[in-house]
Amino acid sequence: MAAPPARARADHDYLIKLLLIGDSGVGKSCLLLRFSDGSFTTSFITTIGIDFKIRTIELDGKRIKLQIWDTAGQERFRTITTDIRNWIRNIEQHASVSVNKILVGNKADMDESKRAVPASKGQALADEYGIKFFETSAKTNMNVEEVFFSIGRDIKQRLAESDARGTEPQTLRINEQDKAAGGQAAQKSSCCG
């Protein structure tokens, strides 16, 4: 019998933390509510700060606990495509190199002429960055499960490979650059310094 993965707990084999990022009003909270609770509402209050939900799924015989963080959106004043490029740039600058990304076009139930981004542009952008693209609808439940299962499967595979190699997954180090520069972080953070 194989030993359980290093991060195994009694109720799950892997704990995976997902972060939903995107502009205000694109349906992040509705997508999360549909996946976690199986419900949909049109009377959503804008997310202030951050919220999260947990759902445990089974993938390839492993119990995966998904902790999904829902963030408040950013300004609405730039074009959606430009915003996606900015979100991806932020991920590349601040997350580990091995982070898994997926692009989701929500509100696919809307008429194509009324949508902010047509499916073809979403797919082209995903192709440009070499990431998966899904069209979803939190309202009709189209592809909601598929999105979370797909990213969960990709992350589980990456974690299983790092377990097999005996390496720990990379983690985000905040202010690591400041520490490398001679421990000047404390001086830089003083207000009047």
Mean pLDDT score of the chain: 79
Query: pLDDT digit string (tens) for 89-124?
Result: 888 888 887 889 999 999 999 998 888 888 999 999
Adjacent-strand bridge partners of 58: 63
Other Cβ atoms less than 10 A from the Cβ of 84: the count is 22
Q: Of 76, 79, 99, give the one whose Cα is nearest residue 88.
A: 99
Axis-axis angle for helices 144-165, 28-37 (nearest 10):
80
Q: What is the dotted CATH code of the domain comprising 14-185?
A: 3.40.50.300
pTM for this entry: 0.72
Q: What is the mean pLDDT of residues 63-86?
A: 72
Give the tens place of pLDDT for each residue, 125-144. Answer: 999 999 999 999 999 999 99
CB-side exposure of 136: number of CA atoms within 13 Å?
Answer: 25
Partners of 56 in the beta sheet?
65
Residue 97 vs residue 11, higher pLDDT: 11
Summarize pLDDT for 142-169 with one digit per residue, the tens. 999 999 999 999 999 998 888 777 765 5
Q: Helix 80-94 and helix 119-129: axis angle, to 10°?
A: 20
Which of the two residues, 61 and 2, has the higher pLDDT score?
61
User: What's the token pair of residue 99?
Assistant: 């982070």
What is the band of 88 on the pLDDT scale with cuts at 50, 70, 90?
Answer: confident
User: Can you read off the two tokens belonging to residue 46?
Assistant: 């804008």
> What whole-number percentage of the chain has pLDDT above 90?
40
CA angle 155, 33, 111 (to 5 degrees): 95
**Which residue, among 57, 42, 47, 56, has the nearest Cα to 21 in the 3D structure?**
47
Contact 35, 29 (CB under 8 A): no
Exposure b/e, 25-38, CB count within 10 A at least 16 = b: ebbbbbbbbbbbee
Proportion of the chain in helix, strand, coil states, percent, rounded to 5: 35, 20, 45
Residue 64's H or E segment, with its range, is strand 62-71
- What pLDDT does 138 receive? 95
Burial class (CB in 10 A: 0-12, 13-18, 19+), 81: middle
Q: What is the dihedral of CA 118, 121, 127, 130, to 10 degrees?
A: -80
- Local confidence band at 41 (pLDDT 50, 70, 90 cut-offs): confident
